[in-house]
């Protein structure tokens, strides 16, 4: 084989390997997602571009307040925050989150709650039994999710509990727009 053909063959081989690796990483490990809508404001903004870790829940269990991407339907993925875990009872009363009857602070909502008047709660009262499915406790392999913008979010209060099979992965890294590059915690 001539030197020129050998060089072309090496380039083609390198490109094929690069495409295969990119396909594997995107399919099984990480994927980009764009936030669509205001349901996670002020934590996430409409148009924020993020990375989803698709394999984390294969090796660990979800934790309260993780931000996850899940299949809400065959055509649409949603991004919300895990509030309730398997075996728990969840309720909100007078804008206070209760897990198994114990008050749980939501630090990511503190600034929003401070701005609201007591007559206009951030989160309307509900209890797990009121949600679709009428569960008394969250079943195994399911979580309860809520958006941070509680008055403008389609979440478990309408959709019901989310099964772990629906979850694409955990997200917490905004990579675009540049002025919003950050990791998101609680």
Across 108-123, b (16+ Cβ under 10 Å) vs e yields: bbeebeeeeeeeebbb
Asked whether residue 166 is domain-assigned, the answer is yes
Number of structural domains (the chain) is 1
Selected catalytic residue, list 80, 153, 156, 170: 80
- Coil, helix or strand for 84? strand
Q: What is the pLDDT of residues 87-114, one digit of tens each?
A: 999 999 988 999 999 999 998 888 787 7
Phi-psi domain of 9 (left: phi exceeds 0; alpha: psi -120 through 50; beta: other): alpha
170 annotated active-site: no
Is 49 domain-assigned?
Answer: yes
Residue 135 lies in a domain: yes
**Sign (positive or negative) of CA dihedral 130, 96, 102, 148:** positive
24 lies in some domain: no
Catalytic annotation present for 39: yes
What whole-number distance in Å separates Cα of residue 16 and Cα of residue 40? 39
Structural domain contains residue 14? no
Q: What is the pLDDT of residues 32-75, one digit of tens each?
A: 899 999 999 999 999 999 999 988 888 899 999 999 999 988 88
Q: What is the CATH number of the domain that holds 138?
A: 2.10.109.10
106: alpha, beta or left? (left if phi > 0; alpha if psi -120 to 50): beta
Does the residue 177 lie in any domain?
A: yes
Residue of 39, 54, 153, 170 with catalytic role: 39
Residue 179 lies in a domain: yes
> 125 is in which domain, residue-wise?
30-183
Q: Is residue 22 part of a domain?
A: no
How confident is the model at residue 98, as a pLDDT?
Answer: 97
pTM for the whole structure? 0.84
**Pick from 23-27, 87-91, 152-156, 178-182: least confident:** 23-27
């Amino acid at each position: 084989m001539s030197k020129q053909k050998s060089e072309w063959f090496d380039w083609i081989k390198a490109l094929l390997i690069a495409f295969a690796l990119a396909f594997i990483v995107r399919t099984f490990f990480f994927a980009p997602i764009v936030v669509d809508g205001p349901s996670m404001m002020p934590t996430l903004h409409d148009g924020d571009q993020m990375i989803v870790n698709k394999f984390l829940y294969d090796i660990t269990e979800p934790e309260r307040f993780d931000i996850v991407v899940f299949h809400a339907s065959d055509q649409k993925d949603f991004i919300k925050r895990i509030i309730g875990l398997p075996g728990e009872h969840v309720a909100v009363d007078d804008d206070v989150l209760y897990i198994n009857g114990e008050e749980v602070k939501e630090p990511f909502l503190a600034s929003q709650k401070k701005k609201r008047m007591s007559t206009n709660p951030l989160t309307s009262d509900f209890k797990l039994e009121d949600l679709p499915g009428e569960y008394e406790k969250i079943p195994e392999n399911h979580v309860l999710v809520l958006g941070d913008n509680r008055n403008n979010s389609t979440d478990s209060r309408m959709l019901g509990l989310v099964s772990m099979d629906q979850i694409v992965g955990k997200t917490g890294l905004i990579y675009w727009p540049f002025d919003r590059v950050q990791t998101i915690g609680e």
